[in-house]
Chain A
């Protein structure tokens, strides 16, 4: 069984130290690398009532686990990084590399929708296993697995036409579709 979550559900989650049990920050935004197909890191807010922006960022290789209730790290001192020591992709995210709002078109020329959210494995390493799509101007959404071969620009994502067979309308059923897609087509590794 594969448990999935949307990247947007991570916003506001506490960042908790494993050995300290302290909530040292919370997720402000998820930095996604569309070429890598994975979360590159997080920008942070302070915890508490006033929760202002925190300068430090959290690169994905400093993350121990991304769960449904918290993002876990080993400790505050070594895991949070000042913007000048963190990878530039996380410290200064390029909005062009953010796939949200991009159109998804199959290589057969069919537009499947626009990207509304990323789908991640619960307790995974930040890899996106799929995308949640919507038709512009409607609230209807559905999910497609993320193929490994993918042409990405700031405007559109081109996916194999086969992806259409694995479209699911709920996140629960989508877990099985991702597994199936990967074994048949060879999705993202």
Chain B
């Protein structure tokens, strides 16, 4: 298990050429699948995207991708928004589906082999990733906990 904050800024290397391609800049999280599906890599030129399937090793010191050609420039509007961090949970408002917030997402932990998200940490709360409903440029929306519902009567 690794957290997004720990992995942020980690060097991204090509496994075939050993050259440094850049650093981890953002995570692209699929809210429905609750997993990291892409990484945004900041290289010398600009932000590029690499799919999770092209990552051969997510280690404590570096992230290895198959080849440098696995990185692609953002082409579609979705790609461009993702490259700018739209589906990165870090720093987003943490809102439940009842419209009540718990500060900002401080961190998120995921499995480095599968990219499956385990939990999010907000201001003093930890939310299981299975409760994520949506991630966008404004907020991470999570299903309200039973405690939160009970409090609302």
Contacts of A72 in B (CB 8 A): 95, 97-99, 141
Interface string of B118-153 (1 = CB under 8 A from A): 000000000000000111111111001000000111
Assembly CA distance A72 to B100 (angstroms): 9
Q: Given A21-B31, A122-B152, A67 and B100 touching (CB < 8 A)?
A: yes
Whether B134 and A123, one on each chain, are in contact in the complex, defined by CB atoms closer than 8 angstroms, is no
- Tell me if A66 and B99 are in contact (CB < 8 A): yes
Q: Does A19 contact B (CB under 8 A)?
A: yes
- A70 with B99, Cβ < 8 A, contacts A1-B151, A3-B151 known: yes
Chain A nearest Cβ from B136, distance in angstroms: 3
Known interface pairs A72-B141, A122-B152; A17-B99 also in contact (CB < 8 Å): no
Contact of A14 among B31, B92, B134, B138 (CB under 8 A): B138
In the complex where A1-B153, A123-B152 touch, is A71 in contact with B99 (Cβ < 8 A)?
Answer: yes
B99 and A21 contact, CB distance less than 8 A: no
Contacts known (A18-B97, A21-B138, A68-B99); A2 close to B153, Cβ less than 8 A: yes
Q: B100 and A20: CB pair below 8 A? A: no
The verdict on A98 contacting chain B, using a C-beta distance below 8 Å, is no
Closest approach, in angstroms, between the C-beta of A10 and any C-beta of chain B? Answer: 10
A21/B135 in contact, CB under 8 A: yes
Interface of A is mostly: loop
Chain A residues with Cβ under 8 A from B95's Cβ? Answer: 16, 21, 67, 69-70, 72
In the assembled complex, B34 has its CB within 8 A of some CB on chain A: no
The CA of A186 and the CA of B140, in the complex, are separated in Å by 39
CA distance A55 to B96 in the complex (A): 27
- Other-chain residue from B99, B134, B135, B139 in contact with A65 (beta carbon distance below 8 A): B99
Chain A contacts for B43, CB-based, 8 A: none
Q: Is the CB of B133 within 8 A of A69?
A: no
Interface string of B77-113 (1 = CB under 8 A from A): 0000000000000001101111111000000000000
**In the complex, are the beta carbons of B138 and A18 less than 8 A apart?**
no
Residue pair A22, B136 in contact (C-beta under 8 Å): yes
Q: Is A23 an interface residue (CB 8 A)?
A: yes
| Chain A 18-44 interface residues, beta-carbon cutoff 8 Å to B | 18-23
In the assembled complex, how far is the CB of residue A87 from the closest CB belonging to chain B, in whole angstroms?
22
Give chain B residues whose Cβ lies under 8 Å from the Cβ of A21.
Answer: 31, 92, 95, 134-141
Are the CB atoms of A64 and B151 closer together than 8 Å? no
Known: A16-B95, A71-B99. 11 other contacts (CB 8 A): A17-B134, A17-B136, A18-B97, A18-B141, A19-B133, A21-B31, A21-B137, A65-B98, A66-B99, A70-B99, A70-B139
What are 18 inter-chain pairs, A to B, with CB distance below 8 A? Answer: A2-B153, A3-B151, A16-B138, A19-B141, A20-B136, A21-B31, A21-B92, A21-B140, A65-B97, A65-B99, A67-B96, A67-B98, A67-B101, A69-B93, A70-B139, A71-B99, A123-B98, A123-B99
Residues of A within 8 A of B (CB): 1-3, 13-14, 16-23, 64-72, 121-123
